[in-house]
Amino acid sequence: MISAKLFVLFGCVIAVVLALPNEHLVGGATPLSGEDLKQAQEELQNSLTKLAAGDGPAYKISKVNSASSQVVSGTLYKFNADLIAGNKEVKNCNVEIWSQRWLPEGIQVTFDCEGEEKIVRKHSA
């Protein structure tokens, strides 16, 4: 009798879990669109501007192809973007911005562009 109740309860739990939308997997990356995408692009632009004013690299956004965010001891933004280098060459890059704004140099930006070595830079918020 008890095992039948547990079986029914377990079945109900599975049904509820499967019925939930999988858009916001806790701790997982969430694809961005709309206002969230706009805010993420502003975060990317702010980082590009700060880095260009310092040790570089000096990139400008040509096009953001995709973006996602993930909560990981701060926020981790991941972009696939076409960036314009100082010589006007357009490069496809995977860019990660790990934002831990409470730290002095709390924003780490990683550029992984096709045909180039990975670049990691930090800047303040």
CATH of the domain at 99: 3.10.450.10
Q: Tell me the C-alpha distance between 22 and 74, whole Å.
A: 22
Amino acid identity, residue 77? Y
Average pLDDT of the chain?
Answer: 85
pTM of the model: 0.76
Please count the structural domains in the chain. 1
DSSP state of 125: -
**7: in domain:** no
Instruction: Report the pLDDT value the prediction gives residue 80, as an integer from 0 to 100.
Output: 98
Question: Does residue 17 belong to any structural domain of this protein?
Answer: no
Binning pLDDT at 50, 70 and 90, where does residue 20 land? very low
